[in-house]
Amino acid sequence: MLSIKTPLIQSLVLSQLNQCQVWLKMEALQASASFKQRSIGYACQKYFEQGAQRFVSSSGGNAGLAVAYTGRQLGVPVTVVVPETTAQRAQELIAQQGAEVIVQGASWVEANALAQSLLTPDDVFIHPFDDPLLWDGIIPMIDEVIAAGVVPDAVVLSVGGGSLLSGVVAGLNKHGLGHIPIYAVETHGTASLNASIIAGQHVELDRVSGIATTLAAKKVCQNAFDLSQQFDIHSQVVSDQAAVNACLKFADDHRILVEPACGATLSVLYDQKIQFKLTDQVLVIVCGGAGISLKTLQGLNG
Ligand SMILES: *Cc1c(COP(=O)(O)O)cnc(C)c1O
């Protein structure tokens, strides 16, 4: 099994704090620790059925780890090319899945260039966020919520390159919920969707910064920008510190460790950034993330 049905649990702490019903979709519990196991697992499965002989990725983060895990499950070799800046721990986690890890260049641009140059006609490059197959793989997340009897009045989720947003909107649409508000959360240093919404056009940031490296796409995918113009999507931008604080509180409250990329979303609830109604069922996507340890998190807590 590539991805699992995740628990949907009510957070009493966050429900009471926000005076509404807060439901946590626990994507942190996927085998590779994030929702990417759904998106990348699904895309890899489809490419495998089409004859892919190898998967190539240039992500040292949760995407690379999801490709490595999926390749091992399907018996397909995986090569992940990462820049020198990729944490040793992340490289180890990917290698542990049996993937070949190649370290190349000072930044992702060089690593990605090498990854592209390695591709033969039998290989498939797995993009971390910009592929409709990835978004299709996320739709079952919303199916599960509906099947559990929860009909959300709002969704809160994190945005990096926009695959999670794309998949969640597709899932909501499938269930006739395309009208509900979605709170799309980024950190100050990674707010590429926010910049595009403010500019009213699909823009690229000059640079990205901060600790939520998993959200650090200079530009969201075209689909995510288009959705922001067509659906009720509200941008929320939070500080790195707020994201870290939320990770720590969440670990205490729910005994699950998540990356600041996910803490960003949780901070919107912990810091009561949105005024909900008492009867609102608020779906929070606990997107997860493998790139964190308790020690790192405590070290970030300034
Ligand atoms: C990839 C990822 C995100 C951002 O998802 P996008 O689809 O790139 O917007 C957020 N949180 C975690 C844990 C991730 O792995």
pLDDT category at 200 given cuts 50, 70, 90 is very high
Atom of ligand 1 nearest to the CA of 259: 13
One-letter amino acid for residue 115 of the chain = A
Q: 8-34+132-300 in CATH: which number?
A: 3.40.50.1100
Domain boundaries, given as residue ranges, for the chain: 8-34+132-300, 36-126
The mean pLDDT value for 148-169 works out to 98
pLDDT computed for residue 1 by the predictor: 81
What is the pLDDT, as a whole number, of residue 278? 97
| Confidence (pLDDT) at 190 | 97
Checking if the pLDDT of 26 tops 90, the result is yes
- Find the mean pLDDT for residues 191-201: 98
> CA 133 to CA 142: how far, in whole Å?
16
Q: Look at residue 292 in the predicted model and tell me its pLDDT.
A: 94
Q: Can you tell me the mean pLDDT for 18-25?
A: 98
**Percent of the chain, pLDDT > 90?**
94
Query: Distance between CA atoms of 197 and 234, rounded to whole angstroms?
Result: 9
- The single-letter code of the amino acid at 176 is G
pLDDT level of residue 107 (50, 70, 90 thresholds): confident
Mutate to test the pocket of ligand 1, among 30, 40, 136, 163 (most ligand atoms within 8 A of CB): 163
- Closest Cα partner for 105 from 129, 92, 86? 86
Sheet containing strand 54-57, edge to edge, reads 100-103, 78-82, 54-57, 123-125
* Three-state SS at 293: coil
- The confidence score (pLDDT) of residue 105 equals 92
Per-residue pLDDT for 301 more than 90? Answer: no
| Distance from the alpha carbon of residue 232 to the mean position of ligand 1, in angstroms | 20
For ligand 1, which residues put their CB under 6 angstroms from it? Answer: 34, 36, 62, 129, 158-165, 214-215, 259, 261-262, 287-289
Q: How far is the CA of 16 from the centre of ligand 1 (A)?
A: 27
pLDDT of residue 192: 98
Protein residue closest via CA to atom 1 of ligand 1: 214
Position 5 scores a pLDDT of 98
User: Does residue 68 register a pLDDT over 90?
Assistant: yes
Query: pLDDT grade, residue 234 (50/70/90)?
Result: very high
Q: What tens digit of pLDDT does each residue of 236-271 get?
A: 999 999 999 999 999 999 999 999 999 999 999 999
Tokens of 62: 């949760």
Task: Locate the ligand 1 atom nearest the alpha carbon of residue 128 and give its number.
Answer: 8
Provide the CATH topology of domain 36-126.
Rossmann fold (3.40.50)
pTM for the model stands at 0.98
**pLDDT single digits (tens) 111-155:** 999 999 999 999 999 999 999 999 999 999 999 999 999 999 999
Beta strand spans in 104-153 (E): 123-125
Nearest residue by C-alpha to atom 2 in ligand 1: 214
Whether 299 has a pLDDT exceeding 80, the answer reads yes
Within this chain, domains 8-34+132-300 and 36-126 share the same CATH topology: yes
